[in-house]
């Protein structure tokens, strides 16, 4: 299983997955992290003038982000737009919003053991 975590600093969870600088990719076998990789988010979205807009861009694509997440099964995220969540699901990747904090590695380990604190309300439904 491969789990992605959006990051800006290479160690912790980014608040908004589409605006992250990169994705930390963790490969798990038997519930243990066996590999770690960093993939750049070359398609990251810039923050627009309003909190929940991407600079007024209509119909923007998430194809670049899906390419960066190729081979991943799950994305742990602090939040994302509903269109991004739907694009991930259509690409076979499960978005999992989390309300816990800590290092990306700690969050992945908690997910692997079933102890990660998840959230149900972090998919924005405004103009993403």
Sign of the alpha-carbon dihedral angle for 33, 35, 40, 44: negative
The domains of the chain are located at: 2-45+61-124
pLDDT of residue 127: 43
Q: Say if residues 80 and 95 touch (Cβ distance below 8 Å).
A: yes
Q: How high does pLDDT run on average in the chain?
A: 82
Q: Say if residues 21 and 41 touch (Cβ distance below 8 Å).
A: yes
Q: Nearest to residue 72, comparing CAs of 111, 12, 28, 107?
A: 28
What would the mean pLDDT of 99-121 be, rounded to a whole number?
Answer: 89
pLDDT at 125 over 60: no
pLDDT of residue 6: 94
Sign of the alpha-carbon dihedral angle for 96, 97, 103, 104: positive
In angstroms, rounded to a whole number, what is the distance separating the alpha carbons of residues 109 and 128? 30
The strand pair at 22-29 and 2-7 is best described as antiparallel
Cβ partners under 8 Å of residue 63, min gap 6: 43
The answer to whether the predicted template modeling score (pTM) of the entire model surpasses 0.95 is: no
pLDDT of residue 51: 43
In angstroms, rounded to a whole number, what is the distance separating the alpha carbons of residues 114 and 92? 21
User: Which is more confidently placed, 86 or 35?
Assistant: 35
Q: Kindly report, residue by residue over 7-64, the tens digit of the pLDDT.
A: 999 999 988 788 889 999 999 999 999 999 999 987 655 444 344 444 444 455 667 7
Does domain 2-45+61-124 sit in CATH 3.40.50.1110? no
């Amino acid at each position: 299983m491969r789990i992605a975590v959006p990051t800006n600093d290479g160690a912790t969870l980014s608040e908004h997955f589409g605006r992250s600088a990169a994705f930390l990719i963790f490969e798990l076998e038997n519930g243990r992290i066996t590999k770690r990789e960093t993939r750049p988010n070359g398609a990251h979205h810039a923050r627009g003038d309003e909190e929940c807009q991407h600079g007024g861009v209509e119909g923007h694509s998430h194809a670049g982000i899906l390419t960066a997440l190729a081979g991943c099964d799950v994305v742990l995220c602090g939040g994302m737009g509903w269109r991004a969540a739907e694009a991930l699901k259509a690409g076979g990747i499960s978005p999992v919003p989390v309300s816990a904090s800590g290092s990306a590695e700690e969050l992945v380990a908690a997910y692997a053991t079933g102890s990660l604190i998840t959230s149900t309300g972090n998919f924005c439904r405004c103009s993403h």
